[in-house]
């Protein structure tokens, strides 16, 4: 609205331009679900390097297939990962201080047995409102990593701003208070003595106390810790990702490294369904028992009851397993599921070429992989490709590469429009970006001025992608269209509060088969 004109003079009025920039979302944030040595449980944590994963989740652990998958993800070009830790009966280490103060490690696992605690009473002066003997200082050290936390002027009074339970819950990564129903002791814990000269007070037994050996890693996880239907309401397992704003790829590594440790059809189906809801791709591992190409083409393969995964356009299967050195076994070769490495290659390809480029070919090399568990020939690859199995191949000079880019809907017999992985991932990228970039439209007046703004902003976003080479066509008219007008939104739609935006794009499809035709030129006959 114009400003009120009340006095003679010059008035300045800012007129909205109608430009609301749509920003493309990330395309390669990868969620991993599985077992780890330490870290929050059923709570997605974002890490951006394997070093950060080591700090938060304890690094490589032989019983954790997740830890190896995360390492391979970053090794192959991944940059952003969401880690969801699950466990099966793991317990946290505990410590009881004098006067009944019960401490517990912040999360389950034997890592908590490396914690040491020191209490002192060198606090600020007591105020009249402070109960007697209620203030104390607490220092905690993880002797395995050297991480140290110090909390000053903690109080046993629930009404105090520094109430110990609240402070540790919100600020500590190492410890929590375990209380009998709802309270902590009224008196502060006893202070530790002074260390000998030159000794570290958090390493000396006279001046600090170690946690007891009550932590354990629990049993090997099962599918029920990942995909049991009851976990959905509690936002645990796969559904812990409801707490995350965005992820684009999902990896659920095998439950264990032993034979038969595959996730079963319950988890595969739940993962594919959830990815469809969240506009993400599920990177599917093959079964450990598949040690030759005929295992996938016969009755025990993709059509078997044991496999049990429907042909989803939001899932892509890779075969076979990878073989590479295991740092925890003197670098002897071991077999690993391919999901982490493949997700890393997708992230690398997105950064170098864009989500519309197939994450396959001579550039899609598998870093750190010495060999593949199954060496496929061209003929065997030719049997699996029409079934929508993305093969991992080994070639001279090139090395180990990803040699397929189809979704599970990409079987030739299905004739799906979502046959190719880059086409599906580009569509998911567009959907998520437009979904987030169009929130401003809600509750705006539903008429031509709004429709014009929508066409302007969505069109600018699509034009930017066209200039990057995301679509087919030599001109914008051939590459995409954006419609939002009286044809897409009728008066009845307006009465119902609906605005319809139609966006079309011409996807780039990978050159899967290259045919070179050679012909002899007959000698010219002079007439």
For residues 86 and 90, give the distance between their C-alpha atoms in angstroms, rounded to a whole number. 9
Q: What share of the chain is helix, strand, coil (3-state, %, to 5)?
A: 30, 20, 50
Neighbours of 66 (CB within 10 A): 26
The pTM of this model reads: 0.93
For the chain, the first-to-last Cα distance in angstroms comes to: 87
d(CA 320, CA 336): 10
Q: What pLDDT score does 420 carry?
A: 97
Measured CA to CA, the distance from residue 101 to residue 168 in angstroms comes to: 13
DSSP H helices, 395-447, are 421-437
Instruction: Yes or no: say if 103 and 177 are a contact pair by the CB < 8 Å rule.
Output: yes
- Sheet containing 101-105, strands listed edge to edge, beginning at the edge strand earlier in sequence: 94-97, 101-105, 175-178
| Token pair 């006279």 in the structure block, residue | 206
Q: Residue 64: its pLDDT value, please?
A: 96
Listed in sequence order, the residues at least 6 apart from 235 whose beta carbon sits closer than 8 Å to its beta carbon are 42, 242, 243
Which H or E run contains 102?
Answer: strand 101-105
**Beta-bridge partner residues of 341:** none
Question: What is the model's pLDDT at position 527?
Answer: 61
The structural domains of the chain, ordered by start, are 1-22+438-527 (no CATH), 30-88+222-423 (3.40.50.11780), 94-210 (2.60.40.4290)
Task: Write out pLDDT tens, residues 183-206.
Answer: 788 889 999 998 888 889 999 888
Q: Is the peptide bond before 320 cis (omega within 30 degrees of 0)?
A: yes
Q: What is the CA radius of gyration of the chain?
A: 30
Ranges of residues in the chain with a pLDDT under 50 are none
Element holding 131 (H helix, E strand): none
Residue appearing with tokens 């002074």: 194
Query: Pseudo-torsion of CA 250, 409, 386, 305, nearest 10°?
Result: 80
With CA atoms as reference, report the closest residue to 461 among 29, 28, 19.
Answer: 19
Structure tokens at 492: 């009845």
User: Residue 300: its pLDDT value, please?
Assistant: 62
Helix (H, G, I), strand (E, B) or coil at 382: helix
Question: Which of 376, 182, 387, 390 has its CA nearest to residue 282?
Answer: 390
């Amino acid at each position: 609205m114009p400003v009120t004109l009340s006095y003679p003079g010059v008035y300045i009025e800012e007129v909205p331009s109608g430009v609301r920039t749509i920003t493309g979302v990330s395309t390669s944030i990868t969620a991993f679900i599985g077992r780890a040595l330490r870290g929050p449980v059923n709570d997605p944590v974002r890490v951006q390097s394997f070093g950060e994963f080591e700090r938060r989740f304890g690094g490589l652990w032989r019983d954790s297939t997740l830890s190896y998958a995360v390492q391979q993800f970053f090794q192959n070009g991944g940059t952003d990962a969401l880690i969801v830790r699950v466990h099966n009966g793991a317990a946290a280490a505990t410590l009881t201080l004098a006067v009944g103060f019960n401490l517990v490690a912040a999360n389950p696992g034997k890592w908590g047995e490396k914690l040491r605690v020191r209490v002192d009473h060198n606090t600020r002066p007591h105020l009249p409102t402070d109960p007697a003997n209620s203030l104390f200082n607490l220092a905690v050290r993880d002797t395995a990593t050297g991480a140290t936390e110090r909390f000053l002027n903690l109080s046993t009074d629930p009404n105090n701003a520094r109430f110990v339970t609240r402070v540790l819950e919100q600020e500590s990564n190492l410890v929590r208070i375990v209380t009998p129903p709802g309270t902590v002791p009224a008196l502060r814990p006893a202070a530790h003595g002074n260390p000998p000269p030159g000794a570290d007070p958090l390493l000396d037994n006279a001046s600090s106390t170690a946690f007891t050996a009550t932590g354990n890693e629990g049993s090997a996880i099962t599918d029920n810790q990942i995909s049991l239907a009851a976990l959905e309401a509690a936002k645990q397992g796969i559904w812990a990702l409801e707490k995350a704003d965005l992820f684009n790829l999902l990896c659920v590594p095998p439950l264990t490294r032993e034979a038969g440790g595959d996730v079963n059809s319950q988890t595969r189906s739940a993962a594919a369904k959830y990815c469809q809801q969240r506009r993400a791709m599920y990177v599917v591992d093959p079964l450990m028992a598949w040690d030759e190409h005929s295992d996938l083409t016969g009755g025990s393969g993709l059509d078997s009851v044991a496999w049990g995964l429907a042909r989803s356009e939001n899932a892509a299967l890779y075969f076979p397993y990878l073989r590479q050195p295991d740092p925890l076994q003197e670098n002897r070769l071991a077999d690993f599921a391919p999901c982490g490495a493949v997700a890393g290659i997708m992230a690398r390809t997105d950064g170098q070429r864009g989500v519309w480029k197939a994450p396959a070919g001579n550039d899609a090399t598998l870093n750190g992989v010495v060999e593949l568990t199954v060496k496929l020939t061209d003929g065997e690859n030719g049997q699996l490709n029409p079934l929508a199995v993305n093969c991992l191949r080994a070639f001279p000079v090139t090395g180990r590469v990803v040699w397929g880019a189809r979704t599970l809907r990409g079987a030739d017999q299905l004739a799906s429009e979502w046959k190719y992985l880059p086409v599906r991932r580009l569509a998911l990228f567009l959907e998520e970006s437009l979904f987030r970039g169009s929130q401003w439209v809600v509750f705006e007046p539903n008429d031509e001025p709004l429709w014009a703004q929508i066409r302007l902003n969505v069109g600018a976003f699509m034009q930017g992608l066209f200039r990057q080479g995301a679509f087919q066509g030599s001109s914008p008219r051939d590459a995409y269209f954006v419609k939002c007008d009286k044809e897409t939104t009728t008066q009845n739609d307006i009465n119902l509060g609906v605005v319809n935006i139609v966006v079309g794009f011409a996807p780039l499809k990978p050159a899967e088969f290259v045919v070179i035709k050679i012909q002899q030129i007959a000698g010219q006959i002079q007439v």
